[in-house]
A and B are shown apart, each in its own frame.
Chain A
Amino acid sequence: MSISRVLSVNRGEIAARVVKAAQALGIEAVQAVSQADRESMAAQLADRTVVIGPAPSRLSYLDPKLLVHTALATGCDALHPGYGFLSERAALASLCAEHGITFIGPRPETIAALGDKLEAKALARAAGVPLVPGTDRIADAAAAQAAAETLGYPVLMKASAGGGGRGMFIARSAADLAAGFDKASNEAREAFGDGTMYMERYVENARHVEVQVFGDGKGHVLHFGERDCSIQRRYQKVFEESPCAAMPQALREELHRAALSLVASVKYQNAGTVEFLYDVNRQEIYFIEVNARIQVEHPVSEQVTGFDLIQLQFRVAGGEPLHYTQDQIPVRGHAIECRLNAEDPYQDFRPSPGRITRWQPPRGAGVRVDSHCYDGYLVPPFYDSMIGKLIVTAATRAECVERLQAALARTEIDGLTTNLPLLRHIAQQPDFIDNQLNTRWLETTGLPAFGAKQE
């Protein structure tokens, strides 16, 4: 291990996790905090804590120069970015490299390439990874109808210059295309000065699946199984599990192959996640994007593989070879994570920061809680609302669901409003128990049922 002292530049549970992982490997941990986080768990655990700036993120956690200056001034030889904040900003990785600091993550050029959606798709296509079937530019409604016959309805018409839903519509028939095409094209022309349209297959019944990968930077890549993160609200994941129990083994193997083929093609370094859309009706997978960092939901992969992925990040960044073969990483059992947030599910998920007067997470076999909270901890109002992650593990999904229900029932948090009632509600839903889920389930079924229960 060539790393002797690391600067942890994130906050919340992941900062505490990074500090502990470093110390477990004999690495000294310096924690950079904003003024609002000087009493935080990570600050308490770290060998040294430095206050880098005031509470607002742009003056503290989002300033790459400040972070690298802190690393240099405190004699750190490595920097762990966590997730969010600057973790996928190539500029931070480059600045570290320029100053001889090991950035614990992918190379800056990999972060830049995969962060650009078009370039990422081009890389995926070149690596033989399936993308959502679609077309090039479509001239008029008649051409759209011909293309839709090949793709199969429903289809999604999109503005080539577009974004934010402008010029976009779903067509379930030739009549829908005839009725909508000119209107959408005009809307795109007005909004973006370009009325060019193209078509993609619309996936009605989609799951979000993703593959945890690791690379040594020289072309050796491994996966640590997949995760199913279909329970989402406004593209924010709420529950994540591993493996994706709804996926047949043959397709799972194809999924893993596709992910590895993409990351091998860029000689990926360190931890990453390749995200896919799983078209359940057609039994196909389509590439979405690569997250070039560790993710919030990495613990479910740790639970079913037995690896500590944060420690592995340190080992790989420190130059240790990734000396495993794929068959040394079997997936055993089932793990489910849910995210505890300081937000009010009865008030449109309004954030509810404040002081925790009682923090009593569940304990017991197969129960893990990754959190930075404690009795008396003040959840500051400046950052995201996640206060912890409950992760349960069991031999099968069915047992795991039961364990999750019991663990949620035993969780007690006082002093502020949390989404715990919603998590308990979801864990009791027949669709969740039977694994009849897709990416729209929470918004179309789960939340309305929760609201109804509230009456």
Chain B
Amino acid sequence: MSAGSNIKPQDVEGLIELFKASNWDEMHVQVGEFELFLSNDPKAVGPGKAVAAPAAPLAVSVAAPASAPATAPASIAHAPVTAAIPDGLVAIRAPNLGTFYRAPKPGAPPYVEVGQTISEDTEVCLIEVMKLFAPVAAGLRGVVREVLVKDGQMVEFDAPLILVEPAK
């Protein structure tokens, strides 16, 4: 049993009351797996997991192979991996729902590596929909800082895929 499961609803209510009564701009509490981020800025995005942002696009593992969906149903549970976009970085986002691939084909080197300099038309990944593989262009110049999605994961429309530090 993790420390996070010891947090009770009244504990969260207490923390919210504490925050309301304060003059703080933000509060970030982490206890084991439990994480609470409160902010007076409606546009604020919490650090780490987007606990308080259920509407954010989620990238979710494809647990069911496409060939046998009925026999191996994926868990319906979400696996939120959406990270906040750190200051100074820009996300390349999924143009539609599909399966994310880092390389043009299995075994091939990935389109881009962390640290690589890219330009607007650099192809950075593939999004596959029913065996149709569409390359995604970077759309900006800069340096790749992080790849947020694992190879073969399903991503939803607009999900952040790759973080780029834009060229000055």
A245: Cβ under 8 A from any B Cβ: no
Out of B66, B75, B132, B157, which one reaches A65, CB within 8 Å? B132
For window 22-80 of B, CB contacts with A under 8 Å fall at: 55, 57-58, 60, 62-64, 66, 68-70, 72-76, 78
Contact mask for chain A residues 36-61; partner B; CB cutoff 8 A; 1 contact, 0 none: 00110000000110111110000110
A405: Cβ under 8 A from any B Cβ: no
Contacting residues, chain B, for A38 (C-beta < 8 A): 55
Q: Report the minimal beta-carbon distance from A231 to chain B, rounded to whole angstroms.
A: 39
Contact mask for chain A residues 45-88; partner B; CB cutoff 8 A; 1 contact, 0 none: 00110111110000110010110111111111100000000000
Q: Report the minimal beta-carbon distance from B144 to chain A, rounded to whole angstroms.
A: 24
Q: A75-B69, A101-B69 are in contact. Are A47 and B130 (CB under 8 A)?
A: no
Contacting residues, chain A, for B165 (C-beta < 8 A): none
Contacting residues, chain A, for B99 (C-beta < 8 A): 69, 73
A30: Cβ under 8 A from any B Cβ: yes
B97: Cβ under 8 A from any A Cβ: yes
Contacting residues, chain A, for B76 (C-beta < 8 A): 5, 28, 30, 47-48, 74-75
B154: Cβ under 8 A from any A Cβ: yes
Out of B55, B57, B75, B154, which one reaches A73, CB within 8 Å? B154
Q: Report the minimal beta-carbon distance from B57 to chain A, rounded to whole angstroms.
A: 6
Out of B70, B74, B98, which one reaches A69, CB within 8 Å? B98
Contacting residues, chain A, for B6 (C-beta < 8 A): none
Q: Are A51 and B156 in contact, CB atoms less than 8 angstroms apart?
A: yes
Q: Are A71 and B97 in contact, CB atoms less than 8 angstroms apart?
A: no
Q: Tell me the number of A-to-B contacts counted with CB atoms below 8 Å.
A: 92
Out of B64, B98, B128, which one reaches A75, CB within 8 Å? B64
Out of B63, B68, B128, B156, which one reaches A52, CB within 8 Å? B156
For window 22-39 of A, CB contacts with B under 8 Å fall at: 28, 30, 34-35, 38-39
- Complex: how many Å from CA A75 to CA B76? 8
Q: Are B73 and A4 in contact, CB atoms less than 8 angstroms apart?
A: yes
- Complex: how many Å from CA A35 to CA B157? 8
Q: Are A54 and B157 in contact, CB atoms less than 8 angstroms apart?
A: yes
Q: A39-B55, A69-B129 are in contact. Are A77 and B73 (CB under 8 A)?
A: yes
Given contacts A50-B156, A69-B99, A95-B130, 9 further A-B contacts (CB under 8 A): A52-B96, A53-B97, A60-B157, A65-B132, A69-B130, A75-B69, A75-B73, A75-B74, A101-B69
B: residues with CB less than 8 A from A are 55, 57-58, 60, 62-64, 66, 68-70, 72-76, 78, 96-99, 128-130, 132, 154, 156-158
Q: List 28 A-B contacts (CB under 8 A).
A: A4-B73, A28-B76, A35-B158, A50-B60, A51-B158, A52-B156, A53-B97, A60-B96, A60-B157, A63-B129, A65-B129, A66-B96, A66-B130, A69-B97, A69-B99, A69-B130, A70-B97, A72-B64, A72-B66, A73-B74, A73-B154, A74-B64, A74-B76, A75-B64, A77-B69, A95-B130, A99-B69, A100-B70
